Amino acid sequence: MMDPEIMYIDLEKGTHKIDRRGDLSSYLGGVALATELLKENCLIEEDPLVNNQPVIFTKGPLNTIFPVVTKVCSMFTSPLTGELGESYGGMRLAMAMALAGLDGIVIKGRRGAPCILHIDDKGVRFLDAKSLWGLDTDETTRLLHDQEGKRGLRSIMVIGDGGEKGVKFANVTIDSYRHFGRLGLGCLLGSKNIKAIIVEGARGREVDNLKEYKRVYKEIAKRVIDTDVMEKYHGIGTSINIKALNEMGGLPTFNFQKSQFNRCSRITGEYFAKKHLIKKLACSGCPIGCIHIAIRRKKFGEPHEYHSTAVAYDHELIYSLGSMLGIARGEEVLELIEAVEKKGLDAITSGVLMAWITEAYQRGLLDAKMLLTTPAFGKKEGYLKIIENIVIQPNEFYKRAAEGTHSLTSHYGGQDYGMVLAKNEVAGYHTGYGNLLGQAVGARHSHLDNGGYSIDQEINSLDSKEIVKKLIQEEIERNLLNSLVICLFARKVYDFDTIKNALNSIGIKISKEELHEIGLRTFLEKMILKERMGFSYKDITFPKRFFETEALFKALDEENAYEILNEYIEEIHRIKLSRISPLD
């Protein structure tokens, strides 16, 4: 195992130190390492936004030296849910951390004025960011791109107005097109007066057994490039799911009032590829190019005066700012995506929140005086105004809206159609019990914790024991992948044997049993940490809307859902007592 090098930054004192943590070498990196660092540094009993709550970034030993191992893990206490915050981002950040010689970064305290952290292999510089405070994410990134660091060797993370104004679902933009999206990391950075973080360096890395490394690399690269395992992600991208889910009856529409959108044809991935796609990008160390960029033309004068902007899109963005809101034109979806991106807001949270606002307004629960607009499904204008007001927070309603959908439904009612699970807004699938349970019980309450939406499509009949087993097994395996910070799009490439061979080729001798233990241990450690933060599986409730709208043309039964939840709780209790996973 390798001893991770961790940089600790004290914002208040303006100091830093680097520790070589041999005691943490068995955690490999990524989420396993970040979980231990969070356990060491978080203030369990304190508010998520107190000054000394930590922000943690970790990479893994395979980052950028093997194909599609491109992510960085961030962990923190979530301002949105009040418990575990866990998010993943790509582009050049993992490479930049490697060039800086860092396996982890721990940031604590609060700077007295807006700042930029410029981190490299020599240390940290604290730069003045007062002139950037108030700028959107695009403008901030552009200015820093022109002024700071070496092009191609650095990564630039920024927050927008949302993070500055304390919106609890504000995100962090990485190198223009990727994000630490969910659970409010941008809010946390804003509370610390961090406008941007730049990471770069010039360190190299030697591999002892170059011949074996090249052999394993070529083997993995062949699977990535020469098979169809990852073709979906390069071709149309994840937005191919829009049409498929719509045909299957699993695409959330009009705030989950329907699971099919009969005006879907102009927001499908196929339509975007034909009409809007201009290029594809890849994270550093990835040959796939899954980041799909659209062109958005904007007229600003007569005659025929236009300028254009580049906007990244994917399935979740089209769902949350398209079908969920009844928006049926690709151009309007791009306009809404650009609006939330520039403000530095999480798109899924924003879309789900606005869908609830729209239905609550239609039902008379909210009024136009409160909303300062009249939202309607299928009409972009009201949503653009809501996005602006969430950041400005001109009244008490929008101050609550800046805290997320759960805060709004707790105060105004409408919980039955507020589409949140464990205080986190739901992702773009309505496929069945696996998806419903998976997001509710997953460590970060994400569809990516355990892939419940895929389990629904594999299991044709209600088999509660099989659903529970698969959810737990998949989350344990994904914790291993996330400890190496392998992009989850490559999860079918990196099986246990492949991971073992990759690690062995760079001098990390490890068995499949030890790899499984890392996944299981991380799964349990996160669960225990969440419980210490106040989370309880027994507090989980399901909005009734899940049972009113068919999923894949089948009605879900509320009683069945709670029975499966109870089975999950019992199985988790058994695993905690015996440390036996469903794989054994």
3-state secondary structure 488-535: HHHCCCCCHHHHHHHHHHCCCCCCHHHHHHHHHHHHHHHHHHHHHCCC
**Token pair for residue 433?**
């019990």
| CA 2, 125, 55, 401 torsion-angle sign | negative
CB burial of residue 10 (10 Å; 0-12, 13-18, 19+): middle
> Three-class SS of residue 300?
strand
Taking alpha carbons only, the member of 429, 415, 430 closest to residue 542 is 415
Q: What pLDDT, on a 0 to 100 scale, did the predictor assign at position 583?
A: 42
- Please state, in angstroms and rounded to a whole number, the distance separating the CA atoms of residues 346 and 180: 9
Q: What pLDDT, on a 0 to 100 scale, did the predictor assign at position 260?
A: 98
Write out the residue limits of the CATH 1.10.569.10 domain(s) in the chain: 230-421
- Please state, in angstroms and rounded to a whole number, the distance separating the CA atoms of residues 408 and 350: 13
- pLDDT tens for the 584 residues of the chain, in order: 689 999 999 999 999 999 999 999 999 999 999 999 999 999 999 999 999 999 999 999 999 899 999 999 999 999 999 999 999 999 999 999 999 999 999 999 999 999 999 999 999 999 999 999 999 999 999 999 988 777 878 999 999 999 999 999 999 999 999 999 999 999 999 999 999 999 999 998 888 899 999 999 999 999 999 998 898 899 999 999 999 999 999 999 999 999 999 999 999 999 999 999 999 999 999 999 999 999 998 888 888 888 899 999 999 999 999 999 999 999 999 999 999 999 999 999 999 999 999 999 999 999 999 999 999 999 999 999 999 999 999 999 999 999 999 999 999 999 999 999 999 999 999 999 999 999 999 999 999 999 999 999 988 777 899 999 999 999 999 999 999 999 999 999 999 999 999 999 999 999 999 999 999 999 999 999 999 999 999 999 999 999 999 999 999 999 999 999 999 999 999 998 887 544 44
Q: Which fold has domain 230-421?
A: 1.10.569
Write out the residue limits of the CATH 3.60.9.10 domain(s) in the chain: 5-200
- Please state, in angstroms and rounded to a whole number, the distance separating the CA atoms of residues 424 and 361: 21
Q: Using CA atoms in the order 288, 290, 293, 294, what is the torsion angle rounded to 10 degrees?
A: 120
**Token pair for residue 519?**
């996944």
| CA 275, 348, 35, 528 torsion-angle sign | negative
The answer to whether residues 12 and 113 touch, using CB atoms and an 8 Å cutoff, is no
Residue burial 249-273, b: 16+ Cβ < 10 Å; e: rest: bbbbbbbbebbbbeebebbbbebbb
User: In 10 A of CB 552, how many CB atoms?
Assistant: 18
Taking alpha carbons only, the member of 287, 295, 289 closest to residue 233 is 289
Pick the CATH number of 5-200 from 3.40.50.10860, 3.10.20.90, 3.10.129.10, 3.60.9.10: 3.60.9.10
**Token pair for residue 363?**
């039902």
- Please state, in angstroms and rounded to a whole number, the distance separating the CA atoms of residues 488 and 481: 7
**Token pair for residue 155?**
């990564």
- Please state, in angstroms and rounded to a whole number, the distance separating the CA atoms of residues 284 and 419: 35
Instruction: Give the H or E element holding residue 55.
Output: strand 55-58
Q: What pLDDT, on a 0 to 100 scale, did the predictor assign at position 580?
A: 54
Q: What is each CA distance from 386 to 170, 311, 357, 544, in whole angstroms?
A: 15, 20, 9, 25
Taking alpha carbons only, the member of 468, 436, 452, 469 closest to residue 540 is 436
CB burial of residue 460 (10 Å; 0-12, 13-18, 19+): exposed
